[in-house]
Amino acid sequence: MGIIEKMRLDGKKIFVTGGARGIGKSVATAFAEAGADIAIIDLDIDEAKKTAIELEKNHGIKSIAIRADVTNPDDVNAMIDIILDKFGRLDVAFCNAGICMNVPAEEMTFEQWKKVIDINLSGVFLTAQAAGKVMLKQGGGSIINTASMSGHIVNVPQPQCSYNASKAGVIQLTKSLAVEWADRNVRVNSISPGYIGTELTLNSPDLQPLIKQWNQMAPLGRMGKPEELQSICVYLAGDTSSFTTGSDFIVDGAFTCI
Ligand code: NAD
């Protein structure tokens, strides 16, 4: 079998949190195109259902939509039960749901701080832990967590201390889980995207001045597209990445190099 054939994900069972839109939807689409069955997990169940229907129609795979809040352990356990009931196993988890908040540190309330840490860091822990428990029993699996270039640098001008701290936490959490589970064939990696133009960012009038500034700073002179994160995630999900664990993949058009 050639390398491209080996990279296919036929028959693999995958969940994607924050899969209704943006980066999650784009990566879920690539997983489906590669032959996997997909559970789309999101707070926004209407949009999650639309995405699941689109994946089934366009790629001839099975897809289900589940409403779950990644910060709620009961929701996460229920989501795993549904996946095992419908799919019978879990091979890959893409723990991707996250939010951003731009508030100066001196003005940030503790509630605002906790909200970002809860979703971006504790949500990744809960979903990766739940996936890991299933995969350890099964004898293997691959977990991919969404961090950010903000886990590596403090990007300006927007003040984002809770976001930056949460994403740095995701990178170190990923390495910790990778080391704990390496001997049992559960691999854990993270991706650190740079600025990615999603519907949300591109259509937000408030963000247009910032986007102009980011583009001027970016070595490639532009933001990334969600599709530009697909191939790294398909690689990490599949069997050709068998020696890759505990790694973080920066996909930022060299933004962190400047
Ligand atoms: P998005 O807002 O387009 O999509 C995020 C999805 O997550 C939404 O559908 C939302 O409903 C869902 N979600 C939010 N909170 C949730 C919760 N508690 N439980 C379940 N679902 C929840 O965002 P995006 O731009 O696609 O970002 C996805 C991930 O990528 C995030 O972790 C983000 O921090 C990270 N990231 C984004 C960029 C970027 O420039 N867009 C850059 C680096 C990292």
For 127, other C-beta atoms within 10 Å of its C-beta total 28
Rounded to whole angstroms, how far apart are CA atoms 158 and 205? 15
Query: pLDDT tens across 231-254, in order?
Result: 999 999 999 999 999 999 999 999
In contact, 129 and 178? CB cutoff 8 Å: no
Ligand 1 pocket check for 132: Cβ under 6 Å: no
In a domain, 258, yes or no: no
In a domain, 257, yes or no: no
- Residue 215: give the domain boundaries: 3-251
CA of 153 to the centre of ligand 1 (A): 19
Taking 3-state DSSP, the helix, strand and coil percentages for the chain, each rounded to the nearest 5, stand at 55, 15, 30
CA of 210 to the centre of ligand 1 (A): 18
- Residues designated catalytic: 148, 163, 167
184: domain CATH number?
Answer: 3.40.50.720
In a domain, 147, yes or no: yes
Ligand 1 pocket check for 18: Cβ under 6 Å: yes
Rounded to whole angstroms, how far apart are CA atoms 124 and 117? 10
Query: pLDDT tens across 102-152, in order?
Result: 999 999 999 999 999 999 999 999 999 999 999 999 999 999 999 999 999
Ligand 1 pocket check for 42: Cβ under 6 Å: yes
In a domain, 71, yes or no: yes
Backbone angles phi, psi at 39, to 5 degrees: -100, 120
In a domain, 58, yes or no: yes
ipTM above 0.90, yes or no: yes
CA nearest neighbour of 142 among 3, 246, 33, 23: 246
CA of 113 to the centre of ligand 1 (A): 17
Q: How many domains does the chain have?
A: 1
In a domain, 256, yes or no: no
Which two three-digit tokens encode residue 92? 């890959």
In contact, 22 and 198? CB cutoff 8 Å: yes
Start-end of H helices in the chain: 3-6, 22-33, 45-59, 73-87, 110-117, 123-138, 161-181, 199-202, 208-217, 230-237
The model scores a pTM over 0.90: yes
Ligand 1 pocket check for 256: Cβ under 6 Å: no
